[in-house]
Structure 1
Amino acid sequence: MRGSVNRQCWCTDPETKRAYRLGQCPKWADPGHGKWYARYDLPLEAGERCQDRLGPFDTRRQAQAAVSAAIARTRIGLVPQVPRQSVAEHVQGWVESNKARWTVSTYKDYETIWRRFIEPALGKVRLSELTREHLNRLYAAMGSTDTCALDTYARKLRRRLQEARGKTAGEAWQPSSPGRIHKVNATIKSALTQACKAGLLIHNPARYATLPRVPYRRALVWTPERAESWRRTGEKPSTVMSWTEEQAGRFLDLSQETDERDHCLFHLAITRGPRAQEMLNLKWRDLSLEGTGMVTIHGTKTPRSQRTISLGTKNVALLRHWRRTQRSECEKPGKQWTESDYVFADKNGTKMTRYQLWEKLGELAREAGLPPIRVHDLRHCAASFSLSAGTDMKVISRMLGHRNYHFTADTYVHVMPKQDEAAAEAVTRVIPRRAA
């Protein structure tokens, strides 16, 4: 197995405008002029000779050390077997190979990350040459609002990202959120982990990338004071907000008067806390409406999120009545009904979308005079109300489909105002005081 090093420069002849031949540059006598590159043989592919190229290096010694290390890795089987594959090509192959086992929304999310960030930024970077600096500059270009703070390479990356978004260089740059940057890095790290397992890499650079801090989104309850401030200024105290028991009751009362389908859906969301897509994917065969009822939820996150939980007598009664109503709707003469078996289908029998759910939630909240919350915040309501009812934390965690109850306590469960008031009064009572 052989390796070689050579020095190159790209100076041009001012008369012919062509690059000098090797060694003919007037500056060639300067040992520091140009860059050093190395080549070495790889294992034969289909009987044909294959070489890999390393560099550039500032000195001959650096190039020789690099090629010696590469030859040593080749001999013990740690060299990439597809040396000319780019990072973007590998990530694309990883995404497509996992398409069959992912949900449609998961695949679309990963494909969008590849198309908008990885392909334009790392499409020319070879998999075997990727370093943490490539990733650090990509994340700096994604998240920075100050172009002057970026180096030349990061500015080029920003232009490529802008073009991938279909925008011109003159349009305003919209930086990515820290959460989005973490998602991009997680995608790259997962794809490179597969490359390490396949023997294409000896380490995963994404593990050592410098990532921005994701601000903690503190979940808050819509107290009367916060609701009044929102009506006056239009600003939400936090991205994640939860209704009180009284506010949730007003919302359910209005939904019951408005549409039976909506009332059944939102009552299930507020009392049992399934994710939005989990509710929309529910089919009648997943339900058992005997006694307190059972529902098998096919998780949208991981296999661990699949679970079977009780519905409760109130949800059972609502679902039974809704099933009768839905059957009578589809049997109406001249009705164009799509037989889909979805529990919360629209008026034509087709599956409801997340946008329709979000739109209906906002419309009913406005009619009830309530401050706004997101569809996902209904899970926060369910967790908080369950805690107020004295439910054990492990039971709440299992209801929500979480891996452990510590995550449930840290993320979803908020202290309701009434609980806080009771705690304050209890502390006062246990302190002995001298009679006045």
Structure 2
Amino acid sequence: MGRRANGEGSVFKQADGRWVAEVSYRDELGKLRRRRVYGSTQTEARRKQRVVREALQRGTPIKPSTTSVASWIETWINGSLAASDRRQSTIDLYTAVARRHLVPDLGQRRLDHLRPSDIEALVVAKRKAGLAPSTVRTIYTVLRAALDIAVRDGLMQSNPAVAVRRPSIGRREADFLTPTQARSLLDALEGERIEPVIRLLLATGLRRGEALALHWADIDLESRILRIRWTLTRTSVGLVLGEPKTDKSRRSVSLPGSAVDLLREHRSRQADERRRAGDTWVEQDFVFTTEIGTPLEPRNVLRRFGVVARRAGLPGAHLHTLRHSAASFLLAAGVHIKVVQEHLGHSSFAITADIYSHVTSEQSREAADHLDRAVDWSRREDDGDTPPPPDGGLWR
């Protein structure tokens, strides 16, 4: 009788009424092994037998893992997540989310006992706790990523998060400043060190990290163009100058005349600072710097902007409000939304249309008003003086 191939085995019923499915296989040393699975019915036993066979074919462990979710999360954070090609800021975010939300809520569970209903319960609990929809979605995304690696490593047969619909974040409409509010903000900025960078954000719609990463080599004041090549972020390893997240984010942005004047004045003041600093100046070609030439700390800019915004009577404004405001001003002036998308560096037209629907709806009403004015729509009694179109067709 020849050797059994991996995955062969029998199915039979025991005296106690349980069905047993047996799978034979050879281990790494060529030794014949047998694995038994049990079921209350023949169908259940065969299903478990099939799962074992599939695991053997994939070369993954066939015994269930007793690893806890908490233990696996730490393994994943220190291994696969750290080794991934994700940006450092994303790694920091995923690490914080996993330890703050996944370990406390799911940590004591065995990894192989995790079910889709457990993940749905987690989503519901986070929503009831009042977390923002985007945060709930991020929690789900991090869990699914961690479990994907557990499946890859053979600790789970399948990822239960795949069976759960990704939490939605609903429709987003941007907060933005009116022209009057923007003027109040500019007045409150006078004399502040962050004044040049805030003015540029409002004039161009750049992201904070894009503006703080600007080098003078990226700016052509004669052609009124700046190029987005980098983004500056604070991470667990310090300030990181990295590439923009998407191809659309790598772009050239046309500068309004006011921004050109602002940058020329700022460059002149920076030259004076460089002379005063002398040997303490750290030359790195950054546009926005401290008194010694080092890049501005993003968190400090954020904090100081909050102070200025409150002084201007705009306590709810944040740095991203400036980006939204610039886009809203462009759309209100009649700039096509596709041009605005390219200007902002959005990855898709749909994102721009969704965020700025409050402006595009106003433009839609204006378009309807233009149609009203284009034709005299009033009803008239036919006096017989209006000639019909020639040949019964349209006027040319």
Confirm or deny a common fold (TM above 0.5).
yes
When residues 286 and 45 of structure 1 are mapped into structure 2, their CA distance, relative to the original with a 3 A threshold, is farther
SS of corresponding position for 1:310: strand
Structure 1, unpaired ranges of 5+: 8-30, 145-173, 220-239
1:276 shift after superposition: 1.7
2:123 counterpart letter in structure 1: Y
Deviation digits for residues 66-103 of structure 1, max 9, x if unmatched? 43122331343275579535555555555443446333
2:164 counterpart letter in structure 1: A
When residues 407 and 348 of structure 1 are mapped into structure 2, their CA distance, relative to the original with a 3 A threshold, is same
Partner of 2:377: 432
- Verify: 1:244 aligned to 2:178, yes or no: yes
1:110 shift after superposition: 0.5
When residues 49 and 252 of structure 1 are mapped into structure 2, their CA distance, relative to the original with a 3 A threshold, is farther
SS of corresponding position for 2:316: coil
Partner of 2:200: 268
- Verify: 1:188 aligned to 2:143, yes or no: yes
CA contact (8 A) 1:44 1:50 kept: yes
Whole-Å separation in 1 of the counterparts to 2:287 and 2:51: 59
- Verify: 1:287 aligned to 2:227, yes or no: no
Aligned with residue 69 of structure 1, among 50, 54, 68:
50
When residues 327 and 45 of structure 1 are mapped into structure 2, their CA distance, relative to the original with a 3 A threshold, is farther
- Verify: 1:328 aligned to 2:272, yes or no: yes
1:184 shift after superposition: 1.3
1:379 shift after superposition: 1.6
- Verify: 1:303 aligned to 2:258, yes or no: no
1:112 shift after superposition: 0.9
* TM-score (structure 2 length as normaliser): 0.71
Whole-Å separation in 2 of the counterparts to 1:324 and 1:98: 45
SS of corresponding position for 1:274: coil
1:351 shift after superposition: 3.1
Sequence identity of aligned pairs in percent? Answer: 30
1:328 shift after superposition: 1.9
When residues 37 and 366 of structure 1 are mapped into structure 2, their CA distance, relative to the original with a 3 A threshold, is farther
When residues 337 and 397 of structure 1 are mapped into structure 2, their CA distance, relative to the original with a 3 A threshold, is same
When residues 141 and 366 of structure 1 are mapped into structure 2, their CA distance, relative to the original with a 3 A threshold, is closer
Deviation digits for residues 259-287 of structure 1, max 9, x if unmatched? 3x533212221222122222223333433
CA contact (8 A) 1:40 1:52 kept: yes
- Verify: 1:347 aligned to 2:330, yes or no: no
Partner of 1:258: 191
SS of corresponding position for 1:376: helix
When residues 417 and 393 of structure 1 are mapped into structure 2, their CA distance, relative to the original with a 3 A threshold, is closer
2:219 counterpart letter in structure 1: L
Structure with bigger RCO (C-alpha 8 Å, 6+ apart): 2
1:410 shift after superposition: 0.8
1:345 shift after superposition: 2.1
Match runs of 1:4-403 below 5 Å: 44=27, 59=40, 64-77=45-58, 79-80=60-61, 84=65, 87-88=69-70, 91-96=73-78, 97-99=80-82, 101-123=85-107, 125-144=109-128, 174=129, 176-194=131-149, 203-209=158-164, 214-217=169-172, 219=173, 240-255=174-189, 257-259=190-192, 261-298=193-230, 302-312=245-255, 313-332=257-276, 336-370=280-314, 372-403=316-347
SS of corresponding position for 1:76: helix
Deviation digits for residues 180-221 of structure 1, max 9, x if unmatched? 22111112223444556677766432122256553534x3xx
1:291 shift after superposition: 1.9
**Paired residues, number:** 357
- Cα root mean square deviation, aligned: 4.3
1:412 shift after superposition: 3.5
SS of corresponding position for 2:27: strand
Structure 2, unpaired ranges of 5+: 1-6, 232-242, 381-396
Partner of 2:392: none
* TM-score (structure 1 length as normaliser): 0.66
Deviation digits for residues 325-384 of structure 1, max 9, x if unmatched? 223213315785444443222334343333322333233333334463221122211211
Whole-Å separation in 1 of the counterparts to 2:98 and 2:265: 46
Deviation digits for residues 27-86 of structure 1, max 9, x if unmatched? xxxx89xx999997776368899998979x7x3657624431223313432755795355
Whole-Å separation in 2 of the counterparts to 1:323 and 1:202: 60
Whole-Å separation in 2 of the counterparts to 1:42 and 1:180: 46
Whole-Å separation in 1 of the counterparts to 2:299 and 2:200: 18
